[in-house]
Amino acid sequence: MQTVLLWLFYISSFYAFIPGIITRFFGYRVFRRGTVEGEFALTFDDGPDPVYTPQLLDLLKRYNMKATFFVVGSHAESHPEIIKRIHDEGHLIGIHNYVHKSNWLMRPKTVRMQLKRTDDIIFGITGERPVYYRPPWGIVNLFDFAKNSGYRIILWSSMYGDWRSSVGADKLTHRMRRKLRAGEVMLLHDCGNTMGADVQAPEQMLLALDRVLSEAEREGLRSVRIDEMITHERMSSSMKLSLPKRMAVAVWLLWEKLFHVVFRLKTANPSDPMLHYRLTSYQGQDMVTQDGLRLVKGDEVLELHFDNQKLFDIGRHARNEMQIAIQMIRAVQKDLPTIAQRVLDKPEYRNVKGLYGVTMITRGPEQFGFHLQDLPSGLFASSTRVYLKLLLSVIHPKGQSRLKEGSRRMEPRMLMMPVEVLISRYAPRELRSRRSSVETGLGELSVGSTAKELSS
């Protein structure tokens, strides 16, 4: 008998107690707190309630705050109109089991059935599948960690005993104000019909929440949905740089400023710099572009250089590489017309044959009118390869991982745009006739090339 009890103890510990400990104390595979300034998360369990949830939605709308509702499936099934309103007003809906029962007391199959049934109910009302799950009382079992469960477990960083009416609005207000700060995930209840709760307890919660939201508004804090908090958390983490990388970036950007001064680079748009350029003579090997233009040593060209500070800032603050791409495309499309205008207006650019550049990432420049060509082998190609790889590892948001995507794709290549292409595509129509007979040439474009390249 003692052996049986001992085995039952081991099994229950492995199934429930140990998973509970590692989630509460170590946060393993759960989300329970944010760190982004200016926002916290209101989360509500056990609803919807036909009396208190509509009042709560009115309160949130008055303060323009968003929340996450972890609903009990049977309650959602009984009040689909409230679930629809929660969804329509921009709040997030998660699962809190079909019945409010501890996962410790159910087999894995039973838990999965509860999740699926609640999932189907929410989908049938809103047309969207829930992604987030909070088990009742925050109690998890071993199988809640399964990667194929399909749900992200959300716990909390503070709770206040609001399921008991005896706490009262004043004490509840005091407790909530003490925890009103950025990153907090607040656990509250909009229904008192579950075991251990008082039916009228949400009335006191609503009184306290009204006061707390008023204070949050004064302090510049806003409540966001859990999915927003998680997204902002990832963005914030991606923007945090180690001390060595911060030092590397600082040194690199200082070098770029010196480079601009020494080589007298001009800027297409000084108020929002992206493209820099300078007049120089071509010093490479003789070559012929794809459209037949011959370029020989001594021909006048414009070098184009991207502003690496701008690239770095875009990479840090964009949510993903597609946003980087969009911002770079817009910047290039804005600056090339300015350069075309100056080529037409400035007498010193009369003999320029075109734009010339070298880039490490070579997918996308064609959309702007550039041609791509392999660098002649030699010292210049080798040194350029080292330089651009180092630069890419510093300014690109993926850093070194971007360099491991294939040696052929990451080889430096020359970019060329004939002047006639620059004028025909980017100069104002009424000015294009000025250079209708100008020969075409080249110009330099540094790493990053176009926004399309970075997104590829």
Domain ranges of the chain: 2-237, 241-455
State how far the Cα of 24 lies from the Cα of 188, in Å rounded to an integer: 18
The candidate with the shortest Cα–Cα distance to 426, out of 332, 348, 351, is: 332
| Per-residue pLDDT tens over the stretch 236-283 | 655 556 666 667 677 777 888 888 888 899 999 887 888 899 999 987
Select, from the ranges 24-28, 168-172, 235-239, 444-448, the one with the highest average predicted confidence (pLDDT).
168-172
Res. 7: pLDDT tops 50: no
* CB distance 45 to 186 below 8 Å: no
Confidence of residue 449 (pLDDT cuts 50, 70, 90): very low
At 84, list the tokens.
Answer: 């629809």
Given a cut of 60, whether residue 443 has pLDDT beyond it is no
Is the CB of residue 273 less than 8 Å from the CB of residue 267? Answer: yes
Instruction: Specify whether 189 is catalytic.
Output: yes
Active site residue 307: no
Alpha carbon distances (Å) from 49 to 57, 86, 130, 381: 11, 12, 19, 70
Give the type of residue at 371: H
Mean of pLDDT values over 78-83: 97
d(CA 38, CA 30): 22
| Residue 175 binned pLDDT confidence (cut-offs 50, 70, 90) | very high
Instruction: Give the active site residue among 96, 189, 232, 396.
Output: 189
**Alpha-carbon gap, residue 59 to 309, rounded angstroms:** 44
- Determine the pLDDT at residue 448: 35
Q: Which pLDDT belongs to residue 441?
A: 39
Residue 40 has pLDDT above 60, yes or no: yes
d(CA 1, CA 96): 37
Q: Do residues 392 and 315 lie in contact, with contact meaning Cβ atoms separated by under 8 Å?
A: no
Helix (H) or strand (E) run with residue 74 in it: helix 73-78
CA angle 236, 216, 58 (to 5 degrees): 110
With a cut of 60, say whether residue 178 has pLDDT above it.
yes
d(CA 401, CA 135): 37
Query: What is the β-pairing status of strands 275-281 and 300-306?
Result: antiparallel
The pLDDT score that the predictor gives to residue 389 is: 61
The pLDDT tens digits for 356-380 are 887 665 556 777 788 877 777 766 6
pLDDT digits (tens, 9 = 90+) for 320-355: 555 666 677 778 888 899 999 999 989 999 899 888
In the prediction, which pLDDT does 203 show? 96
Architecture of domain 2-237 in CATH? Alpha-Beta Barrel (3.20)
